[in-house]
Chain A
Amino acid sequence: MNIPPLSAHTCSLRIARNLHLLLITTLITGMSILLPACGGKEEDRSGKVEITFWHSLVSSTVPALQDLIKKFEEEHPGITVKAQYVPTGDALIQKLVTAVHSNTAPDVSWIHANFMQDLIEADAIYTMEEFIRGPDSLPQADLQDIYPALMEQAKWRGVLYSMPMEATALGLLCNRELFRNAGLDPDQPPRDWNELRAMARKLTLDKNGDGKFEQMGLFIPIFPYSGPYGDWMVWQWYPFLFQAGGNVITLDQSRVLFDSPEAITALTLWKEIYNDLNLSSFTIDYEVAFASKTLAMAIDGPWNIPRWRKMKNLDWTVAPLPAGPARNATVAGGEYLSIFKQSRHPKETWMFVKWMLRPDVQAFWSMRSGYLPVRHAVRSVKEYNDYLETDPPLRAYVESMEFAVAPRPIDYHSLRISRHLAEALEQATLGRKDPATVLRRAAAESNRLLESVVRK
């Protein structure tokens, strides 16, 4: 006997009804799980505009950032700035890319220049022209006052996508106490490569006679090329490349230049000091070593000023880097602000970016954080000059800006090229390979990448 049609109908109806129920339950459960994760930005009840600001400034400068934001909010009562800290630059770019995809990008983010390519390809950030020429325009005089090297880095393929927030330069961090102990005058830091080598040797001590050095004269920054400090190692090598008279890439960006004789000279210096001091048996945590007075000299940046200042038992200072065979040079870098297209308040966000460039704000930020000003005009702020007299380390960095060189921007495959170079630096020193051989290989690999772009 067949099942009566009526009964079958009721049955399928019931299933259908239950299926609906199932679907609805699933949806509700799903929503309740997903919704809290993508809660939208809401307007403050008091009608204030809130702009979110992501950054990975060195953690010791975070209190200075809070002061800066307070100052901005006092001058702009209608706007609040919510700063969110991301511990490393690598994590920041990953978070930014993910946020752009899920439509939760911040209004403005602090970025490294080499992040721009990814953000531009994702069509995530505005060009600065749109604001500079907009209703709340930035005068040409202000633009031209910013260090040109910083502006070059803020561009990608000739278009300006960000504004500098602060500048950095590298200097030579010295422990004055260890200088005195070794019979050296701490006010006479090394002036050229020969003096650097000689002093480094003199400050390297085997205290207990076990054949190993307990005190290191100079830290040559060799880090695993595959790790988070690979780019930092390359950055610290650039001053030596410039001092030898070299550069990173040709002006038209068709060919890298780290197989040049100048580059080989610079890496040979590193290799010789590295081997001479037997640095491969020393820690790579140079900041810990400097804090524990087992390291006399290191290449360092202004962002660390607040860190060293907190260590009251440390007698330290910063000197400009020694001159090389070709010239006096250090590497200039900037850290930048980019405005996201997903921002609901681009006007207010631009106000923040523009405010950041004001000479007195730049002076304020530099004095609090240790970062360097991005424009010349700050040097004519009296308060700032008076302050520099009381802060020799910051003054050394600011004065280094006068002869600082920005590496020419690499618009294509910059991360991979930096990594090839990092690998060469590690191989020549720790790996004891010939500098010329490893640099030529790194340059050949990089040039192959650049050629593949041109062919496209």
Chain B
Amino acid sequence: MVKATPHADQHQQSRRARERKDIIAGVLFLSPTLLVFSLFVVFPVVFSFFLSFHKWNMFSAEQAFVGFDNYAAILVNPEFWSVLSNTALYTLGTVPLNMVIALAAAYVLNKKIIGRRILRTAFFLPVVMSPVAAAVIWRWVYEPNFGLLNYGLSVFGIPSVNWLNDPTAAMFALILMGVWKSFGVNLVLFSAGLQGIPEQYYEAAQIDGAGKVRQFWNITLPLLSPTTFFILVMSIISSFQVFDTVYVLTSGGPLGSTKVLVFYLYENAFKYFEMGYASAVAYLLFAIVFVLTLVQVKYLRGSVHYG
């Protein structure tokens, strides 16, 4: 054991006290946020996990323990599987379209073109718009008799479609609005990624005689891959969680063709008040998204280049 001199000991002690004070002050400053966070985030997360093993209708005082019954009931319910496949379809439709459009727009806006700031703002506007207000506007765009979309199609002689009342068209309508609503975020992320690519690479490629297309494939895309990977992971997560636009635009219809996982969860929780069942759906959703993300990290990490 090291024997410290009384002087050093005293010094060390006062330093420790200072550190403690700092920690306490830090915790104090954090406490309002921590409180709100634990009350409105941590507690519901833990409580819904607890609920997923119980049967509870929100009114009765007690929650009856049912073990894995809720999970089993979900997995044997054909409706769950059709809802899951609707969600997968939505994801398959939204994510690639979203990323391609966002990248194309970011690429064009990265050049010094006139009005790029205005365009960037315009593209980002839907992101900050209230989803319910946006969906109400889109209801009118898709209106079969007076709607803007059908009018536009009629100019080219394309017959009108009842977008929201046709089981195949409705999912397409939802995807289109989903892309419009969210590609602004990815546009900003891609823009940041593009600006992070050093100009010298392009100069060197130009000297070597590489064309624009070649430069895009061999410089831009590989160097953008960390951004692309991040966007892919986040977009898949958020499209699995789509709810508000579905709720306002189609309410899961027609014929249940746009009923997605979170809508199904909402229906069970707040229409039939099956809180246990709905919580189990939430945890299944979590498991699905978690596994999907793990798979992406495992298999796509290798093709990401960090500068």
Q: Are A226 and B251 in contact (CB under 8 A)?
A: yes
Q: Is A392 an interface residue (CB 8 A)?
A: no
Q: A1-B4, A224-B252, A294-B145 are in contact. Are A29 and B35 (CB under 8 A)?
A: yes
- A227 proximity list for chain B (CB < 8 A): 250-253
The total of Cβ contacts below 8 Å across the A-B interface reads 112
- A122 proximity list for chain B (CB < 8 A): 58-60
Q: Are B35 and A226 in contact (CB under 8 A)?
A: no
Residues of A contacting B: mostly: helix
Q: Are B24 and A18 in contact (CB under 8 A)?
A: yes
The answer for the CA separation of A118 and B59 in the assembled complex, in Å, is 7
Residues of B contacting A: mostly: loop
- A11 proximity list for chain B (CB < 8 A): 17
Q: Is B272 an interface residue (CB 8 A)?
A: yes
Q: Is A22 an interface residue (CB 8 A)?
A: yes
Q: Are B271 and A415 in contact (CB under 8 A)?
A: yes
- A26 proximity list for chain B (CB < 8 A): 31, 35
CB contact between A22 and one of B28, B253, B272 (< 8 Å): that residue:
B28
Q: Is B267 an interface residue (CB 8 A)?
A: yes
Q: Are A1 and B58 in contact (CB under 8 A)?
A: no
- A18 proximity list for chain B (CB < 8 A): 20-21, 24
Min CB–CB distance A221 → chain B (angstroms): 12
Q: Is B36 an interface residue (CB 8 A)?
A: yes
Q: Is B117 an interface residue (CB 8 A)?
A: no
Q: Are B165 and A280 in contact (CB under 8 A)?
A: yes
Q: Are B35 and A1 in contact (CB under 8 A)?
A: no
The answer for the CA separation of A18 and B22 in the assembled complex, in Å, is 12
CB contact between B255 and one of A25, A294, A431 (< 8 Å): that residue:
A431
Q: A15-B20, A26-B31 are in contact. Are A228 and B251 (CB under 8 A)?
A: yes
CB contact between A90 and one of B31, B166, B252, B271 (< 8 Å): that residue:
B271
The answer for the CA separation of A280 and B27 in the assembled complex, in Å, is 61
Q: Are B24 and A283 in contact (CB under 8 A)?
A: no
Min CB–CB distance B166 → chain A (angstroms): 7
- B201 proximity list for chain A (CB < 8 A): none
- B271 proximity list for chain A (CB < 8 A): 90, 415
Contact with A along B6-42 (1 / 0, CB 8 A): 0001000100010011001001100110011001000
Q: A22-B27, A26-B35, A118-B59 are in contact. Are A212 and B253 (CB under 8 A)?
A: no
Q: Are B35 and A427 in contact (CB under 8 A)?
A: no
Q: Are A121 and B31 in contact (CB under 8 A)?
A: no
The answer for the CA separation of A352 and B56 in the assembled complex, in Å, is 35
- A284 proximity list for chain B (CB < 8 A): 164-165
Q: Are B254 and A426 in contact (CB under 8 A)?
A: yes
List B residues 134-149 near A (Cβ within 8 Å).
143-146
Contact with A along B53-66 (1 / 0, CB 8 A): 00001111000000
9 A-B pairs within 8 Å (CB atoms) are namely: A7-B13, A26-B31, A26-B35, A121-B59, A281-B162, A282-B144, A415-B271, A416-B272, A427-B255
List of 8 A-B pairs having minimum Cβ-Cβ separation, nearest first: A224-B253, A227-B251, A226-B252, A122-B59, A29-B32, A121-B59, A26-B31, A281-B162
Q: A224-B252, A294-B145, A423-B256 are in contact. List 4 more A-B contacts (CB 8 A).
A: A22-B24, A33-B35, A33-B36, A90-B270
